[in-house]
Amino acid sequence: MLRSLFFGVAFAALFTGPAAADPLLDEARSLFKPLPATAPVIKDNPATPEKVDLGRMLFFEPRLSSSHLFSCNSCHNVATGGVDGLETSIGHGWAAGPRNAPTVLNAVNNVAQFWDGRAKDLKTQAKGPIQAAVEMNSTPDRVLQVLTSMPEYKGLFAKAFPGEKDPVSFDNVAKAIEVFEATLITPDSPFDRFLAGDAKAMTAQQKKGLALFMEKGCSACHNGINVGGQDYFPFGVMEKPGADVLPAGDKGRFQVTNTATDEYVFRSPTLRNVTLTAPYFHSGKVWDLREAVAVMGNVQLGTVLSEEEIDAITAFLGSLTGRQPRIEVPILPPSTPQTPRPVTQ
Amino acid sequence: MLRSLFFGVAFAALFTGPAAADPLLDEARSLFKPLPATAPVIKDNPATPEKVDLGRMLFFEPRLSSSHLFSCNSCHNVATGGVDGLETSIGHGWAAGPRNAPTVLNAVNNVAQFWDGRAKDLKTQAKGPIQAAVEMNSTPDRVLQVLTSMPEYKGLFAKAFPGEKDPVSFDNVAKAIEVFEATLITPDSPFDRFLAGDAKAMTAQQKKGLALFMEKGCSACHNGINVGGQDYFPFGVMEKPGADVLPAGDKGRFQVTNTATDEYVFRSPTLRNVTLTAPYFHSGKVWDLREAVAVMGNVQLGTVLSEEEIDAITAFLGSLTGRQPRIEVPILPPSTPQTPRPVTQ
C-alpha cells in the first residue's frame, strides 16, 4: 500500500511537476536566472546602510557636474526605467553624447559597464561621466573641492568609510555610488515569477515569444540573470545594419582593445525592462521595440521574422519588466562660500 | 484656599507665561505666522490623494519639456531647497533664464508667483516654464500629445479629475502640479517652534538677529507666514544697487503693470530656507548670505549694518530652515510609439 502510494505520487509528479511537465521552463532555466529580491554583494566594496545612503545622495548630486545641472540621475533616471529616453544624452553645453545611455537598473549584474565594456564595474563606470566633457564636465579635484566644502558630506563620508584617513576621495565617491546603484534592481517580473515556477505568471503569447527567443537564437547573446549584458558580440553578425543604426565612426570595443576582431563589437544590452528604455541600440536610432526586434532578426540572426513572431517576441520582452525601485529624493547639504561656483560656459 | 491658589497661578503666569514674559515673542507674533504642518487648502482646486500623486508625477516628468531633459524639479529641485543653485537657470539649448529660480518650497503661501508676480497662483505659474523658449520650450498641444500617448496617464487624470469630460487638459496639468507643490512646505523650523512658544528653539544669537530684523526694518518687506513673499517693493528704496545686482534691463513688475511706479519693483522673496537657496536676488548675483544681508541694509534701509549685526541677522535667517519634504521619485509610464519624440535642436 505504502509502496503503491509512493509510485502513484512519483508517477503524478512526472506529468504535473513543473520541471517534468514544462520543457519551456526547463529550457528557460538552463539559460536564464531570476533576479534576487535584494542587492547583490560587491566583493571588494561591501555595502552598509551609511554607504548606500551616501551613494543615493551622490547619485542625485548635481554639483558633481561643473554646471551643477546634471546628476547621475539626469541620464539614468530612476523615474523612467533608469534611462533618459534620448537618442544620446544631452550634456554640458547642450553637447550630444556619443552613445545611448544604458539603464542603471540591474546594471550591477552586467559583465562590465558602458556599451564597449571599458569599465569593469560600476565604481569604475561612475568616474567616467563625471569627467566627460560632453557629460558632467568635472574633474576629481573639483569634485573633492565641492564635497569637502560642505561639513555634512565630510561627516557622511567618515561614517560610510570608517577608519579611513581621507574618507572623502574620488574612489570613495565611486564606491558609494556603486553600492547605491547595486540596490537598483527590478525583481518580480512576470518572467522571474515564471522561472520560479509560477506557470500562470506569463501569458500564452509571452510564452510563445520566449520559445521563439530561444529557438531563433536571440538567447545566444541575451541570456543569464540580465537576459543580456553578459558578453560582447559584433553588431551585424549576419548582415551589417544601415549606417544610421550602426554609424561607421563608432567601432565599439575595438576602441578599447585595438583588436581587429573587436570592430563594431558591443556588449549585448540587458533586455530587462526593455519596454521602458526606448530608444534602442548604442546609437539610439530605433524607437519602436518591434522594429528593434526585426532589425536584430535580420542583422544578428540572418532571419526575416514574421509579424507574428515579432509580436510574440515583443510580448515576451514585456514580461521582463520588474518591480521598479522606489527611491526617496535625498536632502542634500547646502553649498557654502567654499563650494566652487557652477561653471555654465 | 482655592481662591489663593487661583491667584497664585495667575500671578505666576503673568511673569513666566510666554506671552507676558517675552516681548520679542510678542512682537514676532504680531508680524509672522508659523507654518502649519499640513498643506494649505487651495479654494478653487481641492486636493485629493489621486490629484497630489498625479501632480508629483508631472512635477518630475521630463517629457513636459520638448527636449525630454527638464522637469519642474530640474530648476526647483526638492533635493536642494527647491532651487537649482544657479545664478539663472539653464534651459532648452543651454539658454540662460532671465532671473534666478525662486524656491518652490512654501511658494503656495506667496501672494503671487514669479519675481514680478505675473502669475496669481501656482497653477498659473506652472504653465509658464513649460512654454518658455529658454526653459522647457514646449506647448500646451505638445504636452497633451505627450500625456494622451500614454494610457496610464489617461487613467490617472480620469481618477484625479472625476466626472470631467476631458480630464487630460493643460489646465488640469497645472492644477495637479499646484496641489502637489502645495505639499512642499517646511514646518518645524527653529523659528516656528519659537513662535509656538518654545523659548529654547532659537539660540541667543538668533534671537538677537530676530530683534534686529524687526528693529532695523527688514520685517517691513519680509513678514507674514513666509517671512516675505507677501507683497511688492522697489529694489533700491534708499539707494540703487549696482548694475550687476540690479541689471537696468529688467524693470521687474513694471513689465507686468506698465506703471512707472512699478519700475524695479519685485515681490519680496520668502526668507524661509534661505540658507539653502543661494545665490540671492532676482539676478542671482550675490552668493554669500552675509553679503546679501549687507546689500539689503544699504539699498533698502539706507543703513550700514555692522559686522556684528550682519552676523546676528544671518544667524536668525538660519532659524528659518524647516523640515524638508521627503518625496519619493515617481515611476513614470513608458513612452509609446505615439509619444512625440524629444526635440533637442
For A18-40, write each residue's pLDDT tens digit.
445 799 999 999 999 999 999 99
What's the pLDDT at B345?
Answer: 80
What's the pLDDT at B12?
Answer: 43
Identify the active-site residue in B135, B178, B181, B309. Answer: B135
What's the pLDDT at A237?
Answer: 87
Name the burial class of residue A174, with classes exposed (0-12), middle (13-18) and buried (19+) by CB atoms within 10 angstroms of its CB. buried
Give strand pairing partners of A224. Answer: A32
Contacts of A101 (CB under 8 A, 6+ apart): A75, A76, A83, A84, A86, A88, A89
End-to-end CA distance of chain A: 86
- Tell me the count of A-B CB pairs closer than 8 A: 101
What's the pLDDT at B237?
Answer: 87
A332–B79: do the CB atoms touch at under 8 Å?
A: yes
Of B196, B214, B199, B201, the closest CA to residue B271 belongs to: B214
* pLDDT of B330 higher than 80: yes
Taking the CA of residue A313 and the nearest CA in chain B, the distance in Å comes to 17
B219: enclosing H helix or E strand: none
B62–A78: do the CB atoms touch at under 8 Å?
A: no
Taking the CA of residue A320 and the nearest CA in chain B, the distance in Å comes to 14
Q: Which of A292-306, B57-71, B203-217, B231-245 is the least confident region?
A: B231-245
Confidence of residue B10 (pLDDT cuts 50, 70, 90): very low
Taking the CA of residue A276 and the nearest CA in chain B, the distance in Å comes to 5
pLDDT average, residue stretch B187-206: 98
Give the whole-angstrom CA distance, residue B313 versus residue B225: 18
Contacts with A, B 37-66, CB within 8 Å: 60-63
Q: Higher-confidence residue: B2 or B263?
A: B263
What's the pLDDT at B20?
Answer: 53
Give strand pairing partners of B234. Answer: B265
Taking the CA of residue A89 and the nearest CA in chain B, the distance in Å comes to 9
Give the whole-angstrom CA distance, residue B269 versus residue B110: 8
pLDDT average, residue stretch B246-272: 94
A329–B79: do the CB atoms touch at under 8 Å?
A: yes
Of B103, B105, B104, B115, the closest CA to residue B232 belongs to: B115
B334–A275: do the CB atoms touch at under 8 Å?
A: yes
Q: Could you confirm whether B178 is annotated as catalytic?
A: no
Give the whole-angstrom CA distance, residue B113 versus residue B121: 6
What's the pLDDT at A13?
Answer: 42
A69–B63: do the CB atoms touch at under 8 Å?
A: no
A328–B324: do the CB atoms touch at under 8 Å?
A: no
What's the pLDDT at A12?
Answer: 43
B-interface mutation test, from A332, A338, A345, most B Cβ less than 10 A away: A332
What's the pLDDT at B55?
Answer: 98
B62–A80: do the CB atoms touch at under 8 Å?
A: yes
- The three grid cell numbers given for residue B283, joined into one nine-digit string: 539676478
CB A320 within 8 A of CB A81: no
CB A267 within 8 A of CB A234: no
What's the pLDDT at A112?
Answer: 94
**Which member of B61, B81, B86 has the closest CB to residue A334?**
B81
Is A13 touching B (CB cutoff 8 A)? no
A96: enclosing H helix or E strand: strand A95-96
CB B329 within 8 A of CB A78: yes
**Which member of B60, B81, B93 has the closest CB to residue A94?**
B93
Give the whole-angstrom CA distance, residue B160 versus residue B139: 22
CB B52 within 8 A of CB B179: yes
A-interface mutation test, from B275, B321, B332, most A Cβ less than 10 A away: B332
Q: Which residues of A touch B74 (CB under 8 A)?
A: 69
Give the whole-angstrom CA distance, residue A63 versus residue A140: 12
Q: Which residues of B touch A278 (CB under 8 A)?
A: 334-335
Identify the active-site residue in A61, A135, A178, A309. Answer: A135
Give strand pairing partners of B113. Answer: B119
Is A134 touching B (CB cutoff 8 A)? no
Ranges of chain A whose pLDDT falls below 70: 1-20
A330–B79: do the CB atoms touch at under 8 Å?
A: yes
Closest chain A residue by Cα to residue B59? A79
Give the whole-angstrom CA distance, residue A92 versus residue A327: 26
